[in-house]
Amino acid sequence: MDKKKIMCAALISVMALSLAACGNKKVDYGMNGGSDDAADAGGISGQLDVPDSCDVTFDTGESKLSSITLKDDDIEIPDAGKVYKVGFDAVNAPCSGDELKTIISKLFDETSEVRWQSADAADSKEILDNTIEMYKSEIEKALANGDPGYAELLEVELVKYGEERKNMSDELPLATEYKLNEHYVAEKDGIQRIFMAASDAEDGDGYNNSYFTYDMTPEGEDKALVSEVPGTESTYEINVVGEDTYDGDEKNPITEDEGLGSAMKLLDNLGISGFACTETEEAVRAWTGGSYGEDICKKPDGYRFQFGRKIDGIDVVYSTDIDTVDSIDTDNLTYKGGVDKAVISVDKFGVVSSTVYVYADEDTFDKEEVKLLSWDEMIKAAGESIAKYYKDHPTNYGTVEFNDVELAYVPCADESGNKYFVPTWIFSQNEYNEDYRCDMPLQRVYINAIDGNYIDIVDNMKKMGMYEETGRK
C-alpha cells in the first residue's frame, strides 16, 4: 500500500471506534434493522393509522409564507412495534492502550508481528521507492508532452520523498505500546493490515466521539487490478458510486451478500453493537493510463456499505446535514458533535477500507416506552407547530413544499444537558443534487412524535454540546 493510499484512508476515515466498541458486546445487525417486537399490536403503521401517501396543506399562521404543503407518495414507516424515549450517555472516549491492543488482536492475525508507524511517516522504504519511481515516470511524461511547469512541480515533491527516505530505517519498529493517532501495521501470508485509532477528546476539550481506520491490502493487489485492463498503469475507486457512472454490462466480481458478509464480520470482530446496514452502493473502479493518467475504463468492483444506529428497528438520525437548510443559519456555528456510523468498502480481495463512528454508549440506554400521537393527531399538531417554527425561524422561500416525512429517533438534551433519543417526525423538502448524487434538504422541521411540538434543531444541538460559536458574522 503506498503512502498516498494510507494517508487518504486516514483523512477520509477520521471518525470511529470508542470505548463502546472496546468490549465484547452482542452484535445486532440486519439488512432492514427490523425488530422482534414489530408484530406487537400490528406495528407502528397500524397503531398510528399511517397512510401509504399523503397530500396535506397546512395553515400558514403568522409565518408570512404563502403556503406550506406536504406531499409524499411513499411514506416509509419503521418495522417496529414499540417506541421509547431513550436516555443515554456519550461514549467514554478515548480507548486506553490496553483496549487498543485488544482491538488490534481481533483485527490482526495473532501470529502476526505488529509494527508501529508514525502517522506522519511513510510506511516503508519499499513503498516509498515505488512512490519515487512513479514520480520519476510522471516527470518524464510531462517533459515529453512539453509541460515543463508540471514537471517542475513534481520534481519538488520528488525531492521531499528523497529526503524522507534518507531518514528511514529498512524496517518498521515492533510495537511495544499502543497509542492513539498512530498507525499499526501487520503483514502475513501476503496480506497487509493497517489500523489507526484517534479521538477528539484526547486533550480533554473535544466531544466524546473517537474513531479508527482499518485497511487491508493483499500483496500484488495493484498489479492484479492493473492487469485486468491492458494499457493501464494504475487504478482508483471513484468517490461517487452508482451504476450510472460506468458504461457497459460488466458484472460485479462479488455479490452484494458476499460483500455485506465481509463488512458485518469486521464490525463483529470490533464488538460494535446496535448498528444495521442502512445503505448499499455499488463501488466503481477506474483504470487509468496515457500521458496524464486519463480514465481508460470504469467498471463495478465491489460495494460500499453504510451502517447506522437503529433502536429496535428505528433509525437514529443526527443533525449533520443541515447546512443547506434555508431556515437554519449555521454561518456562526461549527458542528463538532458525534455520530453513530460506519462506512465499509469491500472488493473481491476483502475489506478495502473502513471507518467507524461511535457516539452513544449502548450500555447506558434507559428505555421508557411512550405513546405516540396518531397520524391524524400528529398532522393537526404539526400544522400549528410548523407555522410557529417558520414564524420563529423565517425562510427566504415564499412557499414550503415538503416532499418527504419519516419517523426516526433524534438525539436531544434538556437544559441540564441530559441526553436522550426522542421519536420524531422529520419533515423535509429535498432536492436531488447531481454533483453529490444525493438528496439535500432545502427545508427541514422536526416534530416531536409524542406531543407534536417542534424541536429547535440548532438550539437542541447547542444543549448537547454539538455546536460551538465561531465568532464569524
Mind listing the pLDDT tens digit for each residue in 313-354? 999 999 877 888 998 877 767 777 788 999 999 998 889 899
Least confident interval from 18-27, 107-116, 234-243, 463-472: 18-27
CA atoms 239, 244, 245, 251: torsion sign: positive
Return the percentage of the chain with pLDDT > 90, whole number.
Answer: 40
* Per-residue model confidence as pLDDT tens digits over 381-421: 999 999 999 999 999 999 999 999 999 999 999 999 899 99
Q: Is the pLDDT of residue 141 over 70?
A: yes
pLDDT confidence band for 9 (50 / 70 / 90): very low
Q: What are phi and psi of 414, to 5 degrees?
A: -85, -175
Cβ–Cβ < 8 Å for 285, 255: no
Dist. CA 320–CA 130, nearest whole Å: 39
Alpha carbon of 211 to those of 12, 18, 322, 343, 384: distances in Å?
11, 6, 23, 12, 41
Residues 396-417 as b or e (16 or more Cβ within 10 Å = b): eeeebebbbbbbbbbbbbeeee
Q: What is the secondary structure of 18-36 as a DSSP string?
A: -GGGSS-PPP---SS---G
Cβ–Cβ < 8 Å for 303, 251: no
- Mean of the per-residue pLDDT values of the chain: 82
What pLDDT shows up at residue 224? 84
For residue 326, what is the DSSP state? T
Higher-confidence residue of 255 and 320: namely 255
pLDDT confidence band for 222 (50 / 70 / 90): confident
pLDDT confidence band for 124 (50 / 70 / 90): low
What pLDDT shows up at residue 24? 33
Dist. CA 160–CA 164, nearest whole Å: 6
What pLDDT shows up at residue 183? 86
What pLDDT shows up at residue 93? 66
Cβ–Cβ < 8 Å for 214, 267: no
Q: What is the mean pLDDT of residues 262-274?
A: 86
What pLDDT shows up at residue 154? 92
Q: Is the pLDDT of residue 466 over 70?
A: yes
What pLDDT shows up at residue 4? 32
Q: Is the pLDDT of residue 111 over 50?
A: yes
Which helix (H) or strand (E) element contains residue 154?
A: helix 148-166
Q: What is the mean pLDDT of residues 78-82?
A: 91
Cβ–Cβ < 8 Å for 74, 53: yes
Q: What are phi and psi of 398, to 5 degrees?
A: -85, -25
What pLDDT shows up at residue 238? 75
What pLDDT shows up at residue 84? 97
What pLDDT shows up at residue 244? 58
C-beta neighbour count of 48 within 10 angstroms: 20
Residue 458 three-state SS: helix
Dist. CA 19–CA 91, nearest whole Å: 6
Q: Is the pLDDT of residue 120 over 60?
A: no
Higher-confidence residue of 133 and 38: namely 133
Dist. CA 39–CA 42, nearest whole Å: 5
Q: Is the peptide bond before 94 cis (omega within 30 degrees of 0)?
A: yes
Dist. CA 359–CA 172, nearest whole Å: 33
What's the angle, vertex CA 31, arms to CA 51 and CA 449, rounded to 5? 35
Q: Is the pLDDT of residue 29 over 80?
A: no
Least confident interval from 171-185, 227-241, 255-269: 227-241
User: Which residues, 6 or more positions from 216, have their beta carbon under 8 angstroms from its beta carbon?
Assistant: 191, 192, 193, 194, 349, 350, 351, 352
**Which grid coordinates are listed for 188?**
502475513
Return the percentage of the chain with pLDDT > 70, whole number.
Answer: 82
Q: What are phi and psi of 91, to 5 degrees?
A: -60, 155
Dist. CA 207–CA 227, nearest whole Å: 46
pLDDT confidence band for 234 (50 / 70 / 90): confident
What pLDDT shows up at residue 373? 98
Q: What are phi and psi of 194, to 5 degrees?
A: -130, 130
